[in-house]
Amino acid sequence: MIYFFFGEDTYRLKKTIEAFAGKFGDDSLMNVSVFEDDYDLKKISSAMLSLPFLSKKRLVIMKNIFSAKNLDAKKLAEILDSAPDSTVMLFIQEGQPDKRSVLFKRLIKEKSKELGFLSGAELAKWIKAEVQKAGGEIGPKEALLLAEYFGGNLWQLKNEVSKLVAYDKNIKLENIEKLSVSNVNVKIFDLTDTITAGNKEKSFKILKDLLDSGENELYILSMIQWQVRNLALVYGFKNASETEIAKKTKLNPFIVRKSLVAAKKISSDGTIKNYYSQIIEAENDIKTGAKEPDVALELLVNQLTD
């Protein structure tokens, strides 16, 4: 039996491995073989053809085999075809495999599924389930707010859920604002949005919040630069749908959604180039000591919102 899971959501891919190991493996892991980085076909063949020891099934896990160099896909297919019914083969590929390859065309015919980033109602449903597992409660509005702030990053959402439930089992909007919205990534999105809107007062307030929270000035600057890069990528496709932009730019759907708000307020790519030059100037001022870091950031925000 062959299973094939692939996609961008590394959290769900990891959970898939754990689920299979729990179902088909045993405590001693004698009947589980994992291949990653080393894809020696002789070793793979030996693992797949071996009968399980004191068990009905044997599990062979192949992680990221599409990154293997000089892999003999035809030979691997022969090994797959000759494996006994007692062997369960699990192929896990992080990211997008080459869909033109012989191996992909072979595996996609099996029990396969693409695990992309969750979004919208599906993501909110996942959040609610995780909260319940942690012994907490969350309403639809609160779940959607968390989904909006952190997108399909399930690793980060898992941590946020744990933090919120530990604070109060009944997750409220004000608690999300208090504990989660302080996340620097979210504030950088908000800062970029207010900058492109030319809202100087609000931009300075967000910058002050970041500095007061103890964030390093160069880190804040690097995050602003990171978001301007995302903005530049999204700007070129701003008339396309969020799904199309995510596919073309390879960005997380949440980042696309937040960046698109700001991108639609920009009139030309010259504005983005101007952002870059002013960010570089601020970075040089900080690194050379020409200006105090907090002063350089304040001047930067002032220039960007003019």
Q: Is the full-model pTM beyond 0.75? A: no
pLDDT at 229 over 90: no
* Start and end residues for every CATH 1.20.272.10 domain found in the chain: 184-304
Point out which residues pair with 62 in neighbouring strands: 35, 91
Average pLDDT, the chain: 87
Q: What is the pLDDT, as a whole number, of residue 300?
A: 94
Q: What is the fold, at CATH topology level, of the domain defined by 120-179?
A: Helicase, Ruva Protein; domain 3 (1.10.8)
pLDDT at 239 over 90: no
List the one residue out of 177, 206, 214 whose CA is nearest residue 190.
206
Q: What is the C-alpha to C-alpha distance for residues 38 and 101, in angstroms, rounded to an integer?
A: 20
Give the residue with greater pLDDT, 141 vs 136.
Answer: 136
pLDDT at 27 over 70: no
Q: What is the C-alpha to C-alpha distance for residues 304 and 306, in angstroms, rounded to an integer?
A: 6
Q: What is the C-alpha to C-alpha distance for residues 138 and 128, in angstroms, rounded to an integer?
A: 6
* Start and end residues for every CATH 1.10.8.60 domain found in the chain: 120-179
Q: pLDDT tens across 96-123, in order?
A: 888 888 899 999 999 999 998 888 788 9
Dihedral angle, C-alpha 126, 130, 135, 139, nearest 10 °: -30
Q: pLDDT tens across 147-179, in order?
A: 877 777 788 889 889 999 999 999 998 888 778
Cα–Cα distances in Å, from 293 out to 86, 164, 205, 211, 217? 63, 33, 17, 10, 6
Mean pLDDT across 262-286 = 88
Helix (H, G, I), strand (E, B) or coil at 39: coil
- State the residue for tokens 């797949």: 48
Q: To the nearest whole percent, how much of the chain has pLDDT over 70?
A: 96
- State the residue for tokens 């596919």: 247
* Start and end residues for every CATH 3.40.50.300 domain found in the chain: 2-114
For 184-304, give the CATH class: mainly alpha
The superfamily CATH assigns to domain 2-114 is P-loop containing nucleotide triphosphate hydrolases (3.40.50.300)
Q: pLDDT tens across 174-205, in order?
A: 888 778 755 667 788 788 888 888 899 999 99
